[in-house]
Structure 1
Amino acid sequence: MKTILLTAFVLWTFQGTKAQNTNKMENQIEIQAITDAIENYYFKGIYEGDALLLGSIFQPGTLLFGDVKGQPYFKTIDLYLDGVKNRQSPKDSGKPFKGEILHISVVNSIAVAELNVKMYDFNYRDFLSFHKINGTWLIVNKMLTDTSK
C-alpha cells in the first residue's frame, strides 16, 4: 500500500512539474514574441519616424496617456502617429536614441511591457499594454512619463 501511495505521489509531482515547465516555456515564447515586436516595430518605427511601421503594432483605437515635462498628455493613436510622421525622426536628428525593455509580464493573452526610451532631450518611461489578437501581440494602451530632470 505504501508503495502504491509513494508511486502515485511521485507521478503526481512529476506531472505538476511538467505542467509548470511547459507553462514557463510557453511564457518565454510569448515574451520573445513581444520583445521582437517592440524591437522591430515600436523602437524601429519611433527611431526612423516610420508611422506605418509603428502603427502596425497598435490596435486601432488605442489611447495614449501620461505626462511630458509635467504637463498632462493624451492622444489617440491616429494623432500620435500623425505627430511621428510629421516630426524630424530621431534618426534624422542626429541625437542619441536608445530603446530598452525593462520588463515584460505575460498572463494568458495579455501582457504589460515597461520600457525606457531616450530620444531628443527626453527620457521616457513607457508602459505598454498588449493583447494577443488573432495570434498577434498588439499594443492596446500606452502610458508614458518623461523622467528627465
Structure 2
Amino acid sequence: MKTFLLIAFMLWNLQGIKAQNKITMENQEDIAAITNAIENNYLKGIYEGDVRILGSIFYPGTLVYGDIKGQPYFKTVDLYLDGVKNRQSPKDSGKPFKGEILDIRVVNSIAVAEINVKMYDFYYRDFLSFHKINGKWLIVNKMLTDLSQ
C-alpha cells in the first residue's frame, strides 16, 4: 500500500510540474513582448522625451492616476504626453535616469507591470496595466507614486 501511495504521489507531482511549465512557456512570449515594449517604447520614450515612441504603447483614452509629493495626480494620456513633449527630457537634462522592471504578471490577455523609474531628482513607482489588443500589448492604465519623500 505504501508503494502504491508513493507512486501515486510522484505521478501527481509530475503532472503539477508539467502544468506549471506549460503556463510558464505560454507566458514567456508575452512577458518578453511586454518587457520589450516597456524598454523600447515606455522607458526610451520617457528618457528621450519622444512622444511618438512613448505614445505608441498607450491605448487611446488611457488614464494616468497617482500622487506626486503627496498631491493627487490625474491626467488623460493626451495631457500626459503633452507634458512630456513640453518638458526638458531626462536625456537632455544630464541627470541620472534609470528604469527597472520589478515584476510582470500575465493572465490571458491582461497583464500588470511594476516599474521603478529614477528621473531628475525623483523616484517613481509605476504600475502599468496592459491589454493585448490585436496582438499588441498596450498600456490601458498607468498609476504612479513618488517615492522621493
TM, length-normalised to structure 1: 0.89
**Superposed displacement of residue 32, structure 1:** 1.0
**Superposed displacement of residue 26, structure 1:** 1.1
Question: Aligned residue for 1:116?
Answer: 116
Alpha-carbon distance in structure 1 between the residues aligned to 2:24 and 2:94: 41
Alpha-carbon distance in structure 2 between the residues aligned to 1:19 and 1:71: 45
**Superposed displacement of residue 14, structure 1:** 6.0
Give the match's secondary structure for 2:34. Answer: helix
The superposition leaves residues 76-111 of structure 1 with CA deviations (integer Å, 9 ceiling, x where unpaired) of 000000110111000000000000001111111000
Question: Aligned residue for 1:105?
Answer: 105
Q: Give the paired residue count.
A: 143
Alpha-carbon distance in structure 2 between the residues aligned to 1:73 and 1:99: 21
Q: For residue 24 of structure 1, what is the amino acid of its counterpart?
A: T
Instruction: Structure 1: give runs of 5+ residues left out of the alignment.
Output: 1-5
Give the match's secondary structure for 1:148. Answer: coil
In the alignment, does 2:74 pair up with 1:71?
no
Question: Aligned residue for 1:133?
Answer: 133
Question: Aligned residue for 2:24?
Answer: 24
Question: Aligned residue for 2:81?
Answer: 81
**Superposed displacement of residue 121, structure 1:** 1.0
RMSD between superposed Cα atoms in Å: 1.9
TM, length-normalised to structure 2: 0.89
Question: Aligned residue for 1:55?
Answer: 55
Question: Aligned residue for 1:3?
Answer: none
Question: Aligned residue for 2:91?
Answer: 91
Between the aligned residues of both structures, percent identity stands at 79
